[in-house]
Amino acid sequence: MLAKDAATSTQPQLEARAVHLWRGEKHLLRGVSFALHAGELLQVVGPNGVGKTSLLRSVAGLLPVEAGEIFWQGQPLPAANDDYHRELAYLAHVNGLKSDLTALENLRFAVSIRRDVTTEELRDTLQLLRIESCSDLPVRALSAGQKRRVALARVMLTRASLWILDEPITNLDKAGIALFEARIADHMRQGGMILTAAHQLLLQGQPGVRTLELQ
Ligand SMILES: Nc1ncnc2c1ncn2[C@@H]1O[C@H](COP(=O)(O)OP(=O)(O)OP(=O)(O)O)[C@@H](O)[C@H]1O
């Protein structure tokens, strides 16, 4: 649930403390720490292969860290897992859409696992991202940017407070980026949080927007 009141809280909702991660022989994350408060966007930046995706996967609970801790609302993971996963929407590099289903069917399938949703709400969200004309087409018939927009619509529809997004604007054109930035700003205003891996920064210079540089 989005926590409007939490927007003014000084308590971090999500916190990583001295996280270490190895991939194979490589000591990738060396004591990474950050705090994310309600209403904030944190963009993880750094060169290819530095560990941005790995960090996001760890924070999403998909890749266990070897040292350090991750806290959700003051509780360490995995103890906080049930609450945490209810509040979390994760979007990877790949969209995770079923290509034989239509955009609308994909959204209905993904969202109804979490909550009741009406067809009108699904269509409204597709319209917000200007892909209403794709609603009834099989996903395999959509362009790369249109597929990304469907995947972003899914994130928006979850009503999760924390969005973890790996390069969310991949394949989006300028208009698509502007539309998505407006949705992010909206989410932040309602006390939502976003953690991204990014080569291209969103909402630069806006209040509550920060970067975390990995090197
Ligand atoms: N399953 C895996 N097994 C071993 N090493 C891996 C695995 N997945 C990723 N790596 C390595 O971990 C390092 C970091 O990868 P990661 O995808 O986290 O980087 P990134 O910063 O997101 O890169 P990019 O900007 O290219 O997306 C890379 O050197 C990669 O080869």
Domain ranges (residues) in the chain: 10-87+183-202, 92-159
Q: Which residues contact 32 (CB under 8 A, 6 or more apart)?
A: 16, 18, 19, 20, 55, 68, 212, 214
Closest CA to ligand 1's atom 26: 48
What is the reported pLDDT for 9? Answer: 56
Q: Is the CB of 24 under 6 A from ligand 1?
A: yes
Pick 10-87+183-202's CATH classification: 3.40.50.300, 3.40.50.2000, 2.60.40.10, 3.40.50.2300.
Answer: 3.40.50.300
Taking only the tens place, the pLDDT of each residue in 149-185 is 999 999 999 999 999 999 999 999 999 999 999 999 9
What does the pLDDT profile of the chain (215 residues) look like in tens digits? Answer: 444 444 445 789 999 999 999 998 899 999 999 999 999 999 999 999 999 999 999 999 999 999 999 999 999 987 667 889 999 999 999 999 999 999 999 999 999 999 999 999 999 999 999 999 999 999 999 999 999 999 999 999 999 999 999 999 999 999 999 999 999 999 999 999 999 999 999 999 999 999 999 98
Q: Rounded distance, CA 154 to CA 91, Å?
A: 9
Interface confidence (ipTM) of the complex? 0.96
Q: Which of 50, 66, 167 has the most ligand 1 atoms within 8 A of CB, as the residue to mutate? A: 50
Question: Ligand 1 center to residue 92 CA distance, Å?
Answer: 13
* Residue-level pLDDT at 4: 41
Of ligand 1's atoms, which has the minimum distance to the CA of residue 56? Answer: 18
Rounded to whole angstroms, how far apart are CA atoms 214 and 208? 20
* Angle at 94 (CA atoms; ends 88, 96), nearest 5 degrees: 65
Using only C-alpha atoms, the chain has a radius of gyration, in whole angstroms, of: 17
